[in-house]
Chains A and B, each alone.
Chain A
Amino acid sequence: MSFWDDLADALGLGSASNLGGAAATAAGLALAKRGYEDIGDIGSQAYREMAGPDGLAQELRGMLEFQPYTVTTATGGQFGMTQDPTTGQMTYQMQMSPEEQALQQQLLSQAQQMYGQAAVPVAEREQQVFDRMMTAMSPSQERERLELEQRLAAQGRLGTQTAAFGGTPEALTLAKAQEEARNTAMLNAMQFAGQEQMRQAQLGQGMLSGSYIPQAQLIAGLQPGMTGAEQRRASLSEQARTYGETYATGLEALLQAGLGQAGIAGGFGTQLASSALGGLFKQQT
């Protein structure tokens, strides 16, 4: 038994003494009931149309689903986004061109080499540089030594030994000059080795950085593609939103119309029943 049935029973509309008024009341109630029930149907329809299995939400969901796409750069690098149709898991793929990969490998290798050289103990490198400098200086030093030897021989001083200078003052001067050159070479070798080590590290760093440039450029190249895809996604989203809003507006108008009809029927029945019930209750008093 419905609300409306309970209400008619409570009002005694089923008794014979109130048949005329009862009829009107019943008619009014019937209308009101009908209006009430129509509202419920409208609500159900609205729910069905909006969130039901084939409703608007379902349709919009389909419209807003991810669209896989791929971006290819001018140098042949590619970036792709795919979704597993089963699991829905997204997959992002970035792939450089073979030339870029070769370049990257080469730079990485060279960077490794440079870092390796930079990691060599500096003393060893200092000795190598020093030896090369001494090798370069040796001929001139030998010439200077021979010149002095000849000069001392001409002066009859080859056999000179002194407590103050060891040999001759000239020999000491030459030895000091050569020793200073040697010391300078040693310091230069140390400085050079340090600078070289730093330069190698910088070169390694540069090569390492350079090796990632193709990748960075690939990523940079994605931007326009991603922008286009995003625009497309936004367009689809706008389209779905417009569709949804239009659909919802139509549905709302339909529901409003139904609600209006139900309201009219309900109001009329209510008024009718009220009028009938008003007369009834007046006579009894």
Chain B
Amino acid sequence: MAQELKSINLVAPAFKGINTEDSPLAQDPSFAEIADNAVIDKRGRIAARKGHSVITTDKTALGSGTIRAIKEFERSSGSNVVLSVGNNKIFTGTTTLTDATPGSYTITADNWKIVNFNDKAYLFQDSHAPLVYDGTSVVRLDSVSGAAGVVQGNEVLSAYGRLWVTGLSTSPSTVYWSDLLIGHDYSGGTSGSIDISKVWPDGYDEIVGLAAHNGLLIIFGKHSIVVYEGAEAPATMALADTVAGVGCVDRDTIQYTGTDVLFLSHTGLKSFGRTIQEKSLPLSSLSGNITKDIISALQTENTFFRSAYSPEEGFYLLTFVGQDNTYCFDVRGTTENGSYRVTRWPSTGFSCYTRLDNGDFYIGTSNGISQYTGYQDNGLGYRFKYYSPSLTFGDSARIKILKKLKPTLVGANNATVFMKWAYDFKGTYATAEFTVGDQITGFFGESEYTTVEFTGGALTNQRSLNATGYGTSVVVGLEAEIDGSQLSLQEINVMALIGKLL
């Protein structure tokens, strides 16, 4: 007697992002085992990320180097300038990277931190004399008229009318602040410093980064956090809180989301607000679904960490530059365990980011400066991947015989799609390939139904693919070459026969 096909519908698969922490068998199919080059789109579906369009047309000054930092210098006149660094140089401009490195100034690294402050841009990097850009030229900060007591820090923060500098190798627990509105004076007026070596809750730590939030000065150590309140008047600011056991890995992982501060700790991505609420309890990491992956990545990273927050895209990007691996955290919501939904962007070549004042999102690569837009990476396609966790369809003891896979895709115009499946945790996937043709958003695929009184609709594509093989657990995957069109995975309908007990 023929058995009835059982339909198992994976609606909005992976809309909770990657989860490599829980047992594959016990996982919710809303998670993904792999979600590469993906984001969570505006409807909560997993979708292909945007590509990057290279703006730079003349990267002669960059040579074979890579852009390592980008910052928009915002001037009161409104004519903003994009500053970037790479190949041991400092550039201005986007289409043409103009070398603005001061004469007779030797740069040996590109790990600059650039901040805007009082109509100037300040550049700080360890073991380098700080630089300042006034809209015309980049000069040494200590050469500015009136400069005094300039410190060579690795971290700089522009907040509360001052520059805050720290990360000196000779005094790793000291924060220096400039005179009010004078970024080049560190020994006059209301400038000063604070040595917090006696404040660390764990007895010893070194300052990694700084942040300002809600009138607080947040000092991130490697494995602890110290918070001062009343930083508007630094001479009288007082300790407000300390957090032991949670620190920051790198200054460039700190990002403001408007209501909170995100940073990467040794146990994963953290929220300052939640960390303060929960003190040192590392239970609720924002990267709780990929904790081991993050820890492994940060332990092996030996180049740079870069991060960015885009309210327009709704994500926080964290890039391990040396590994060419980026995690994309969707900050619009969290899963049940309090973690952000996360996807992965591997091998993108993205080396730094910045969000412009107008909302544009710029990316630094070896090609210069790019904009996060379109669905090509510098004119080339890239591979979107989705793999489900192992699915047992509620009965891990019975054999499942896949008959059909029916993915529903949104977009994916002209994309080549590979539907994959495998049984019993084996890495050998069977593949069914299909090409989404040139679609027209209209009834019957006719263009006349897309205009005038007819609505445009959305490009959707449903396919029914025959599947083969059997096993007790199934992994379903979908890969697509993104080359100009967006792709969202609406659902995958799996038609299977439930076989005998093993």
Contacts and interface: CB of A to CB of B under 8 A. Distances in A.
Given A161-B193, A163-B192, A164-B190, A156 B239 contact: yes
Contact of B194 (A161, A163, A164): A161
Interface string A150-161: 000111111111
A169 B238 CA distance: 12
B235 interface: yes
Contacts of A158: 195, 198-199
Interface string B310-327: 000000000000000000
Contacts of B174: 159
A160 B193 contact: yes
A190 to B, nearest CB: 35
Contact of A163 (B187, B228, B237, B239): B187
B197 interface: yes
Given A168-B235, A169-B236, A161 B192 contact: yes
Given A155-B238, A155-B239, A165-B235, A160 B194 contact: yes
B181 interface: no
A48 to B, nearest CB: 123
A162 interface: yes
Contacts of B228: 156
Interface residues of B, number: 25
A240 B254 CA distance: 133
B235 A169 contact: yes
A99 to B, nearest CB: 73
B187 A156 contact: no
B188 A156 contact: no
Contact of A157 (B190, B197, B238): B238
A163 B236 contact: no
B203 to A, nearest CB: 14
A163 B196 contact: no
Contacts of B192: 160-164
Contacts of A160: 192-195, 235
Interface in A177-199: none
Nearest to B229: A155
A163 B180 CA distance: 12
A159 B235 contact: no
B206 interface: no
B130 to A, nearest CB: 18
A158 B197 CA distance: 9
B408 to A, nearest CB: 57
A156 B226 contact: yes
A285 B1 CA distance: 244
A156 B236 CA distance: 10
B179 interface: yes
A159 B189 contact: no
A168 to B, nearest CB: 6
B345 to A, nearest CB: 40
B343 interface: no
B189 A164 contact: yes
B196 A156 contact: yes
A159 B194 contact: yes
Nearest to B177: A162
Nearest to B219: A156
Nearest to B228: A156
Contacts of B188: 163
A1 B66 CA distance: 177
Interface residues of A, number: 15
B93 to A, nearest CB: 38
Given A154-B239, A155-B239, A168-B236, A163 B189 contact: yes
Nearest to A172: B235
- Among B174, B191, B196, B236, the one with the most A-chain Cβ atoms within 10 Å of its Cβ is B236
- Give the one of B173, B179, B188, B235 with max A CB within 10 A: B235
B195 A159 contact: yes
Residue from the set B187, B195, B196, B238 with the largest chain A CB neighbour count within 10 Å: B238
A83 B173 CA distance: 103
A161 B192 CA distance: 5
Nearest to A155: B238
Nearest to A151: B238
B176 to A, nearest CB: 9
A269 to B, nearest CB: 143
A154 B242 CA distance: 11
Contacts of A162: 190-193, 234-235
Interface string A122-163: 000000000000000000000000000000011111111111
B199 A156 contact: yes
Contacts of B197: 159
Nearest to A153: B198
A163 B190 contact: yes
Contact of B198 (A159, A163, A164, A169): A159
A152 to B, nearest CB: 9
Nearest to A158: B198
A156 B201 CA distance: 11
A106 B412 CA distance: 122
B173 to A, nearest CB: 8
B428 to A, nearest CB: 59
Interface in B233-256: 234-239, 242
Interface in B162-189: 173-174, 179, 187-189
Nearest to B240: A156
A169 B237 CA distance: 11
Contact of B179 (A154, A157, A159, A163): A163
Contacts of B236: 168-169
A153 B238 CA distance: 10
A13 B389 CA distance: 207
Contacts of B193: 159-162
Contacts of B199: 156, 158-159
Contacts of A161: 192-195
Nearest to B198: A158
A147 to B, nearest CB: 16
A153 B189 CA distance: 24
Contacts of B239: 154-157
A140 to B, nearest CB: 25
A160 B188 CA distance: 15
Nearest to B233: A169
A156 B198 CA distance: 8
A155 B198 CA distance: 11
8 contacts: A156-B228, A157-B237, A157-B238, A160-B194, A160-B235, A161-B193, A161-B194, A162-B193
Closest 7 A/B residue pairs (Cβ): A159-B195, A156-B239, A162-B192, A155-B238, A156-B199, A162-B235, A160-B194
Given A156-B194, A161-B195, 7 more contacts: A155-B239, A156-B226, A156-B242, A159-B199, A161-B192, A162-B234, A164-B235
Interface of B: 173-174, 179, 187-199, 226, 228, 234-239, 242
Interface of A: 153-165, 168-169
